[in-house]
Amino acid sequence: MQVPGTDVDSASDFTDRFERIRELSRNGDNAGAIEVADSVVAESEDPLVTCRALVLKLGRLFNLGRTEECPPVLDRAFESVEGGHAPVLRGHLHALAGIIAAGDSLERCVRHLVQAGREIDLEQGPTEETVVAHHDLAVTYSYVGFHAQAVPIAERCYQDGQLLGLPSGDHALPEVAVRWAVSLDHHGDTESCVTMLRRVLETWAERAHPRELWPAEQYYYGYAAVRLRALGEPAELDPVLFTAEEHGWEVADLRLLAAACRDISEGDPARALKRIEHRSPNPYTLGAAESARIRALAHAALNDHRAARTADREATRIATRDQGQLRDGLVDGTRAQLDHEALRRTVEQYASEALTDSLTGLPNRRHFDRYVTRLAESGIHAAVGVIDLDGFKAVNTVYGHLSGDLVLQRVAAILARTLRKGDFVARYGGDEFVAVLPHTGMEEARHIGNRLARAVADGDWEALVTGTPVSVTIGWAELSEPLRLSATLEAADQAMLSGKGRLAGSV
């Protein structure tokens, strides 16, 4: 992940430290860069400067594989930029949030990436900040297998950098094309893989000296050469590229896989097999199927064609499994989009922002109060339900508040589409919703409540917050008079708490 520029007036007091972060990152010292970024966060009173420092920290944490530390940093960064006119900075944050979310939910990842592109494109003309943001956006698309989206963004990143006079090696991304090339090989298109790897070597040799690339990119450029050699194709290799100093999972993976490719090309495939035995490189590096494909090449070099076919079948199975996951993610995303569209249709009648919850689009507490008052004054009896999310704190703790907001939006959409026509649902506050069922007795209300609870529980939460089930507990009370609204809510709340108690007692 790249380092954003410091072309902001309020950042002038921290220019030296931002440059120090750039230098440390350029030399592969991610841990040192994090320490300097933390010092900026501790001392800066400007929210945009704080956000830029947090962006730096996020990228370095990811490079070191310390992703479990990222959610609270992301939350604070988004809070820092909230309300400010900084679309590129927000876009950069969404790009980083995308790769952090990818391990748990492809749907959330893609939402962040699409939003990142939209925010960055709001900036007039290329700036150093947009170049760096596009850099990280291209890498994230590439990591998660959207190669056709990653390549044009990577090319735009480079061309804009050249237009601005930035060093050619600072924004070069051979890794994006290398990752796409080996993906083609995993799917059986070795010819296209060879063509693309050759193009990588030719293109980037013309644009910048390979030794002037950032450390990780030197390894990717070198990997294009050793991978060609493992395929039996001639390629010139500069061994110095594999000595660049960099700490983190990505370079460690590239060293391992490159060494195995060299073993094959130098006539020692048995060593290659031993080298990668029981090793599991991160799938972001070169795809989850790369180890299996290298094993196939090693077995073929040993003339063990049966073992080679077995390994190739495994590589194909892994590669196509990833495609299946992408399709599942698309279905989940489409489902969420349809839910959101249905919710928008439900609340179009609420034109006033003062009566609408900005996060979920549902009526807010004020709107609820007015609605039930009019209902009771018209002499219409109703059932009022207090709907509370179970264990919602765990979602925010594990995945951060951004994911928590997505859960609240999804729950709101489920409630809105599951209730009957003419029923009313509002967000009352926090993780609590209220439903009003006109002309409905308590027995029927409880049946409807059970249907709501089942709909929420069946909401495919694994795709959004892996390993953290989402459910609701609902308590009901009767409303007959406007002056008894407070007592009705208190009775419904007590019924809800009793339901939670019974649930806890049954576990």
Domain match, 353 and 314 both? no
Q: What is the pLDDT of residues 341-350, one digit of tens each?
A: 666 666 555 5
Residues 422, 371: contact at Cβ < 8 Å?
Answer: no
pLDDT at residue 257, rounded to an integer: 97
Domain match, 372 and 421 both? yes
Q: What is the reported pTM?
A: 0.68
pLDDT at residue 335, rounded to an integer: 61
Domain match, 297 and 377 both? no
Measured on CA atoms in the order 269, 273, 274, 280, is the torsion positive or negative?
positive
Average pLDDT over residues 32-47: 91
Least confident of 13-27, 150-164, 338-352, 432-446: 338-352
pLDDT at residue 343, rounded to an integer: 63
Label residue 12 by pLDDT band (50, 70, 90).
Answer: low
Residue 424 domain flag: yes
pLDDT at residue 339, rounded to an integer: 67
Q: What is the pLDDT of residues 493-507, one digit of tens each?
A: 999 999 887 765 554
Residue 493 domain flag: yes
Q: What is the pLDDT of residues 179-193, one digit of tens each?
A: 999 999 999 999 999
Average pLDDT over residues 456-465: 80
Q: Which of these, 100, 99, 19, lies nearest to 52 by C-alpha position?
A: 19
**Helical H segments across 234-304, by residue range:** 249-265, 269-276, 283-286, 290-301
pLDDT at residue 9, rounded to an integer: 41
Pairwise CA distance, residues 119 & 124, whole Å: 11
Question: 11 pLDDT exceeds 60?
Answer: no
Residue 132 domain flag: no
Domain match, 312 and 422 both? no
CB atoms inside a 10 Å sphere around CB 466: 12
Q: Which residue range forms the structural domain that includes residue 286? A: 189-321
Domain match, 295 and 408 both? no
Measured on CA atoms in the order 403, 409, 410, 411, is the torsion positive or negative?
positive
Domain match, 255 and 396 both? no
Average pLDDT over residues 95-110: 84
DSSP 67: G
Average pLDDT over residues 67-90: 86
Average pLDDT over residues 27-48: 89
Tokens of 501: 């108690």
Average pLDDT over residues 452-471: 83
pLDDT at residue 328, rounded to an integer: 59
Q: What is the pLDDT of residues 119-148, one digit of tens each?
A: 898 887 799 889 999 999 999 999 988 998
Buried b (16+ CB within 10 A) or exposed e, 417-426: ebbeeebbbb
Q: Which of these, 457, 435, 452, 436, lies nearest to 391 by C-alpha position?
A: 457
Average pLDDT, the chain: 86
Domain match, 353 and 500 both? yes
Average pLDDT over residues 416-430: 91
Residue 334 domain flag: no
Residue 311 domain flag: yes
Number of domains in the chain: 2
Q: To which residue do tokens 């007015």 refer?
A: 370
Average pLDDT over residues 289-310: 96
Domain match, 270 and 393 both? no
Top-confidence residue, 266 or 106: 266
Average pLDDT over residues 5-23: 69
